[in-house]
Amino acid sequence: MPANAWWIDAYRLEFDGSWTNSGAGWSFHVVGQAPNPVHGNLMLQGNLPEAYVIRVCDKTGAVIAGGLKLLVVKRTAGEALTFDVPSLPTPPADQVANIKM
Confirm whether 1 is domain-assigned. no
Reported pTM: 0.82
Asked if residue 27 belongs to a domain, the reply is: yes
The CA radius of gyration of the chain, in Å to the nearest whole number, is 13
Sequence-separated (6 or more) residues with CB below 8 Å from residue 31: 5, 6, 7, 59
Q: Which of the residues in the chain have pLDDT under 50?
A: none
Q: What is the pLDDT of residue 67?
A: 93
pLDDT at residue 24 in the model: 61
**Contact present, 85 and 56 (Cβ < 8 Å):** yes
**Residue 101, in any domain of the structure:** no
Residue 2 domain flag: no
Q: How many domains does the chain have?
A: 1
Question: What is the residue range of 73's domain?
Answer: 7-96
